Amino acid sequence: MKKKITISIVIIFIVGGILYLNLSKKNEQNFVSVKTSVVEQGEIKSYLSTTATIKSKNSKDYYPLQGKVKKVNVKLGDKVTKGQVLVEYETQDLNSAVKQAQIQYDNAVLSKKILTNNNNDIKNKIADLNKQIADLDNKIAELDKQIKNIQESGSPQDKALLLDSKNPQNPIVIKQNVESSKAQLKATKDSLKPISDEQFKQADNSIELAKVALDSAKQNLSKVQDKIISDIDGVVTSLNITEGTSSIASAQPAITIQDVENLKAVMYVGKYDAGKIKEGQEAIIKSGDKEYKGKVSFIDPTAKKTVSATGTDTSLGVDIDILDKAQELKIDFDVDVDILLGQVDNALKIPAESIKTTKEDKTFVYVIEGDKAVEKEVKLGLQSDMEVQVLEGLNKGEKVILNPSETIKNGTLVKESSGDDK
């Protein structure tokens, strides 16, 4: 009897164990495996990362004067000092330049006058041809009337005349000759084309350009400048002038002087980043494996539009002074720039990958309480690339779920993946 009882108890334990294992396995399948991170307190920095171009803080372009270049006193790469004579000119050519500019201006005005006279002649010819064509139309109408009268009530002799196609007195033959003359006049008229508005516009532009050149030549003569003098200390970085040649007003500088020791980084930002940047913000300039300290020194007062192959871009220029000595940096090289937008030393922070946002812009995270995911709304502050400051909603030491999937809801059973806590 005791043996039967013992066997029964063993069977009950085995069945119970199997049921427990099945139930545990089923419950385990209801849990979602998640990775977590602990809410920490510490420093957080927010940067704007972009690229910039190295420029000189002191740079000056010198444009060519009107006249013949007597002597160029510098060459590319030379160091120059403030007050140094860079280029010398011969001034006797300035009077000739004014005379030449005056002749070009007079010729432009004369060309416009000739164009106007030609246009008036063409219009007069067209008007005369229109009058001749109208006279022929009247003549044709009279002949039509004469032919009709002969056909309806003319004498046999007159009717016979209409049938004689070789008789020059035949009204029908006369009409044909008149129509032929009319066609020739119309063809002549069609070949006459008045001067177009575009041609007159080109003539006006030529006058305007010649006037600008004349005014410039007179201005150069009045100044009687015979040399280009450097206003700054620096290095000759561009030289586009040659001794013995006659230079004219040009959009291209003759000489560019740049201070290669005092540099800045120039960058351009779009409208979404422009509001984040303030003068005085710290910056880090990176070139290769070297870093240099910098500071935002100037922000353009207005944005600029540039046209590219992809469309029109609008950007705002920002200057960053380079505070360290940077002999390795060269003007017009590109560098990487990180601008410090903000910093909090004792911030409550969580990974950015833990944050969820609803369509209503509600921001929340999931924390683990026991074995459940609990939704908590949070108010955020400063944000870096990887971390976000939490102003309200969480406490230090809580665990937030990283990259929560759509299957996780408030109250979802979860378990942490082993070794994934941060």
| Residue 319: predicted pLDDT | 95
Same domain for 262 and 374, yes or no, is: yes
Same domain for 342 and 325, yes or no, is: yes
Same domain for 288 and 398, yes or no, is: yes
CA distance readout (Å), 321 to 46, 124, 233, 248: 20, 70, 19, 36
| Residue 29: predicted pLDDT | 54
Same domain for 402 and 331, yes or no, is: yes
Same domain for 305 and 159, yes or no, is: no
Is the separation of the CB atoms in 377 and 393 below 8 Å?
A: yes
Same domain for 113 and 172, yes or no, is: yes
Range 90-96, long-range pairs (CB < 8 A, 24+ positions): 90/226, 91/67, 91/224, 91/226, 93/66, 93/67, 93/68, 93/246, 94/66, 94/67, 94/217, 94/220, 94/221, 94/224, 95/221
| Residue 15: predicted pLDDT | 43
Say how far apart CA 375 and CA 414 lie, in whole Å: 13
Last residue within a domain, chosen from 170, 199, 222? 222
Task: List, for residues 144-188, the tens digit of each pLDDT value.
Answer: 888 888 888 888 887 777 877 788 888 888 888 888 888 898 888
Same domain for 272 and 193, yes or no, is: no
Same domain for 267 and 306, yes or no, is: yes
Same domain for 275 and 264, yes or no, is: yes
| Residue 89: predicted pLDDT | 84
Identify whether 23 is part of a domain: no
Write out residues in the chain with pLDDT < 50, as ranges.
1-3, 10, 15-28, 419-420
Backbone angles phi, psi at 363, to 5 degrees: -105, 130
Considering only CA atoms, which of 341, 343, 344, 336 is closest in space to residue 276?
341
**Which CATH number covers residue 82?**
2.40.50.100
Identify whether 11 is part of a domain: no
Considering only CA atoms, which of 285, 239, 289, 236 is closest in space to residue 263?
285
Identify whether 1 is part of a domain: no
Identify whether 126 is part of a domain: yes
Same domain for 325 and 412, yes or no, is: yes
Identify whether 407 is part of a domain: yes
Residue 290's domain comprises 32-51+258-416
Is the separation of the CB atoms in 366 and 400 below 8 Å?
A: yes
Question: What one-character-per-residue DSSP string does 172-199 give?
Answer: HHHHHHHHHHHHHHHHHHHH--PPPHHH
Same domain for 291 and 399, yes or no, is: yes
**Which CATH number covers residue 302?**
2.40.30.170
What percent of the chain has a predicted confidence (pLDDT) above 90? Answer: 41
| Residue 223: predicted pLDDT | 66
Q: How many CA atoms lie within 13 A of 187 on its CB side?
A: 6
Identify whether 15 is part of a domain: no
Backbone angles phi, psi at 313, to 5 degrees: -110, 140
| Residue 10: predicted pLDDT | 45
CA distance readout (Å), 260 to 3, 83, 177, 241, 325: 103, 18, 87, 22, 11
Identify whether 358 is part of a domain: yes
Same domain for 264 and 391, yes or no, is: yes
Considering only CA atoms, which of 72, 78, 84, 55 is closest in space to residue 254?
72
| Residue 398: predicted pLDDT | 93
Identify whether 8 is part of a domain: no
| Residue 101: predicted pLDDT | 87
Backbone angles phi, psi at 351, to 5 degrees: -65, 145
| Residue 8: predicted pLDDT | 52
CB-based contacts of 289: which residues, under 8 Å, 6+ apart?
Answer: none
| Residue 182: predicted pLDDT | 86
Q: What is the total count of domains within the chain?
A: 3
| Residue 21: predicted pLDDT | 39
